Structures are given as C-alpha cells and as structure tokens.
Structure 1
Amino acid sequence: MYRTYIQIMGEELVDNLAAIASSPLDDSSQLPLYQQLKQRMLQLMASGSLDETTPLPTEMQLCQAFGLSRATVRRCFKDLVDEGRVVRRRGHGTFVRPETTRGESSVPLNFSSEMESAGLLPASRLLGLRRREASGGISRRLGVAEGTPVWEIRRLRLGNGLPLQLAIAYVPCELCPNLSEEDLSTSLYALISQGSGALPARAEESYEAVCLDAREAKALGVRVGSAALRVLRTSFDTTGRAFEASVLIEPGDRSRLVVSLSTEGTELRRVWG
C-alpha cells in the first residue's frame, strides 16, 4: 500500500518525506512529539518544497517514518489546520494554504513566501551562477574551510514586476552538487532540502545603510548613489549548520523595517513597496 501510494504521487513526495524524517524526533525533549513534528512540517514549508498543489505526507506515512501513534500525528495536523497553515481536501490530501490567505501564520524564510505573504507576485531573474572557492567572510559565515567549493548565485528578485532585491547567495556545493541554471527556476531552499535533507530552521540578518554603486543601481533600475539596505543573511538548518550565506541589496524606497516594541519583546519585520 505504501509503495503504491508513493508511485502514484511521484518522487517529489518521497523527497519531502525523506527530508522531514532525515533524523529522529527527540523522545527526551520537553517539547511534545507532536510539536516537534509540527516544527519539521513548518520548516519544510519554509523551504518552498511544498505549495498549495503538492500534498503533505499522509498521517500513515508519518506514523511509519517516525514510529509515532496516529493520535500524535493527528494532533500535529489539527494544530496546522487550526492555525490556518494547511487545508484538508477530502479525497486528495492535506495542502499548504496559499500564502496570501494565511497572514501572520506564514513562515516566510524564503523570498517567494515573503512576497506572497505581502500580497505580491514573486519572480526571479538569474544573473549568474558559478562555482568558486569560499574565502574570508563567506567561509566564516558558512563555517567551512577556506577553499571549500561553493556555488555563487546572483539573482534579481521582483515583486509584481518591480525589482526589490539584488541577491548574491553562497551555498556549499556538497549540498546540491549538480546545480544548474534550469534548477534555479524553483526555490533554492527546496533544492537544498531535496538534495541534502537540510530543512531551514532560522536565519540571522544584519543591516546597514549603503549607497548603490553603478552595477547595483543598473540591476535594480534606480539612480547611482541611491540609498539602500545591505543585508547579510546566514541561514541555518535544523542541526544548526549554516547552509547559505547571502548578501541582499534592497532599494531604500522599496522596503523598510518596522520595529514593534512591547513588554513581551521586540518584533522586527520588513515591509515592501
């Protein structure tokens, strides 16, 4: 029964299930197993491997993969449904709810999800792809030795057709050794997840104000010397390993940071347009 379902749904579902179950859940953790499973599901959603057309692994598959009870898996799915992150379609399975309807319940760790959460149509234009050796800040941020082969991926990211971000990403080649320009028509996080089982868990960003040079201004369609945000972003998987180091350049008149202060802490979010 299990093999038949996999053959019908295709290799993409196999990859997603393998990514979720790449390491066992922690029985000794104070975090309940259903919440640990929920985190895995959210991390897979954040990778871009799942969308509203790709079903999540079934309850039975997850029970078999992790050795969990049906009640534990059902509690995980119930939370995801109640929070508006997924929707059940009778006879078809459980699917990620479209980002534009999920509001604050989304987990926008990649650009496409961030755009969809903002109600914008994401698009990407590849400017360059090459292999190089990691050095200096890139090797330190990725936690690899200098000279380690990495992919350098240059892309222009757009929202509703407007250039919003010039992104240069560095990814260890071992995570996706056969990367091609055609592959980059989909989510980079999804490619990494499917190729290595690495699920995105968190990202750290630092911000600084800069003025655009001629090359950056031309790519973004603005004047040379225009104000912009320069963001250094490092993304980590569930094991704490850095799998991507990026430099993001965003025109100052097309994005801004909003900081909310309260007794419960500080929340920072980016607003586009």
Structure 2
Amino acid sequence: MSDLFSPEGFDDAGKGPLYRQLARRIGDGIASGALQPGESLPPERDMAAMTGLSRVTVRKAVQSLVASGDLVQRRGSGTYVAPRVERLEQALSLLTSFSEDMRRRGKAARSVWLDRSLHTPTPDEVMVLGLKAHDRVARLARVRLADGVPLAIERASLPAALLPDPEAVESSLYAHLETNGLRPVRAVQRLSAVNIGPADAELLELPPGAACLRIERIAYLASGATAEYTLSLYRGDAYDFAAELRLAGDSQGDTP
C-alpha cells in the first residue's frame, strides 16, 4: 500500500489536478487488487503526510471515490474499499422471503434490526391493511445482508392481530408467520427507480443519491385479507429483477 501513497509522481502538471491523480492511484490499486474489498485506508492526515499533499486535496480525492462507489466511509470507523457486490437475479413471479432467496443461492442471510415494535397505525397503514382506528400495527425495519454485504432495507407493516409480538421474528418473517398458518399466498408488487437519501445510503454503504430500486409489496392471506405492507430499497448495483412474459391471448398462446 505504501507505493500508492508515495510522494513521487505528483509534480507532473500534465496529469491533471492533484486530487484526481491521487484518486486515480487509489482506483488503480483497487482494480489491480493491491487494495482488497473491505481493506481500510490510512487516515486522511496520514495519507497527506505520506504523499506530501494537503489534507484538503486528500479529502477531495477520497470523496470523489466515495461518490463513485469505490470507497465507503463508516462514521467513527474510517474509509474502506467498497465490497464487491455480486449481481443477483430475482424472479418477480415467486413470493419468497429474502432469507429463502439467499438460502437458495447458498448465501448466509443476516438482519440488522432497526425496529421491531407495535405502533398506532398511520392513515396509509389503516387503509392498506384494512385496520380500524383503534387497531395496532406491527412494524419491522431492518437492513438485509448476504455474506456480510448490505443489499436491502425492508420496512414492513402488519396487523398486530397477525403479529402480536414483533420481537418474536428472529430471521425470516414468512417462516414465522407460516408456523401459525398465516403465511401470505399472493402479493402485488410495484417497482420504481429512486435515488437513495443520505440516511439510507449510510445503511447500505452507498454514496447519497446512488440508484436503487424501490419495491412496494402488498401481500394477502389465502382468505383474501391483507397481511403485509412492505416498502423495500434494493441496491441498484446488486439486483436484476426478471419476469416471464407471455403473448396475450387464450391458454394456447393464440393472439386475439
């Protein structure tokens, strides 16, 4: 790593601004494998001392690489090489949980819980879940990770009648509901493209404004009752959603 921050070579004005030269060096180090995913960079003051550049120049170089997604900054911890994110293809025709998806791919799923509690429902939750004004709603909010890489943020709302003890959900919500015969059997999903805000970007280790997929899911029980209303943010650099399309017409595939 010391070669990346050597002071030699920064005196050539033809190579562009100093911060871009440093950013290029670090980027080349990541591409070559000299800097590995998850590896920490020296503090800015140390990089400035090693390169002979000002801390302002070093900070500008680091921020440009954070904005491009090559580096991530963790508050109170430091700056790290961003993890390599494997692209995953998810079928839109299957009603599965994140835990089931990752298990099928041979990946270790984990959650970082942000909320597991009962609340007074919002007007939107009352309408979507078919609640009465005096009913309670269970809310689950968590960051979903696969092999240690944060891939999604899920914020789910369920009638408290279906989930009276949100803290009883340890990993898979659907597996927990299934033990009580309350697993959803169908759902309607809407996908849209969004730019992630600063707070959620920090949770997913992305630069603010990065492209993400916003998925709104309303799931139903076999009885037709609404069981779940979930808003999720998925990393745009990690997910491809696929759906099988058929020619409109009768069951034989004939056109009208």
TM-score by length of 2: 0.56
The structure 2 residue matched to 1:236, chosen from 210, 220, 239, is 220
Distance 1:185 1:261, change over 3 A: same
The structure 2 residue matched to 1:249, chosen from 233, 239, 243, is 233
C-alpha separation between the residues in 2 aligned to 1:150 and 1:257? 30
Task: Supply the AA of the counterpart residue of 1:110.
Answer: S
The structure 1 residue matched to 2:173, chosen from 188, 191, 195, is 188
C-alpha separation between the residues in 2 aligned to 1:251 and 1:222? 8
Task: Supply the AA of the counterpart residue of 1:237.
Answer: L
The structure 1 residue matched to 2:113, chosen from 105, 114, 126, is 126
Structure 2 residue 207 is matched with structure 1 residue 223: yes
Distance 1:254 1:146, change over 3 A: farther
Alignment of 1:28-177 (within 5 A): 108-177=95-164
C-alpha separation between the residues in 1 aligned to 2:143 and 2:188? 21
C-alpha separation between the residues in 1 aligned to 2:188 and 2:101? 16
Q: Quick check: which one's helix share is greater?
A: 1
Contact 2:215 2:232 in 1 (8 A): yes
Task: Supply the AA of the counterpart residue of 1:208.
Answer: S
Distance 1:214 1:237, change over 3 A: same
Q: Which residue of 2 aligns with 1:202?
A: 186
Q: Which residue of 1 aligns with 2:252?
A: none
Contact 1:176 1:191 in 2 (8 A): no
Q: Deviations over 1:135-176 (max 9, x none)?
A: 232222212234521111111111222111100011111112
C-alpha separation between the residues in 2 aligned to 1:121 and 1:190? 16
Q: How many residues align?
A: 158
Of residues 200-209 and 120-129 in structure 1, the stretch that sits farther from structure 2 once superposed is 120-129
Higher gyration radius (CA): 2
Q: Report the Cα offset of residue 194 of structure 1.
A: 3.0
Q: Which residue of 1 aligns with 2:195?
A: 211
Q: Report the Cα offset of residue 108 of structure 1.
A: 5.0
Task: Supply the AA of the counterpart residue of 1:188.
Answer: L
Distance 1:179 1:259, change over 3 A: closer
Distance 1:240 1:263, change over 3 A: same
Q: Report the Cα offset of residue 218 of structure 1.
A: 0.6
Instruction: Structure 1: give runs of 5+ residues left out of the alignment.
Output: 1-103, 266-273
Q: Report the Cα offset of residue 220 of structure 1.
A: 0.6
C-alpha separation between the residues in 2 aligned to 1:149 and 1:220? 30
RMSD: 2.3
Identity of aligned residues (%): 27
Task: Supply the AA of the counterpart residue of 1:261.
Answer: L
C-alpha separation between the residues in 1 aligned to 2:237 and 2:134? 38
Task: Supply the AA of the counterpart residue of 1:217.
Answer: A
TM-score by length of 1: 0.53
SS of the equivalent of 2:100 reads: helix
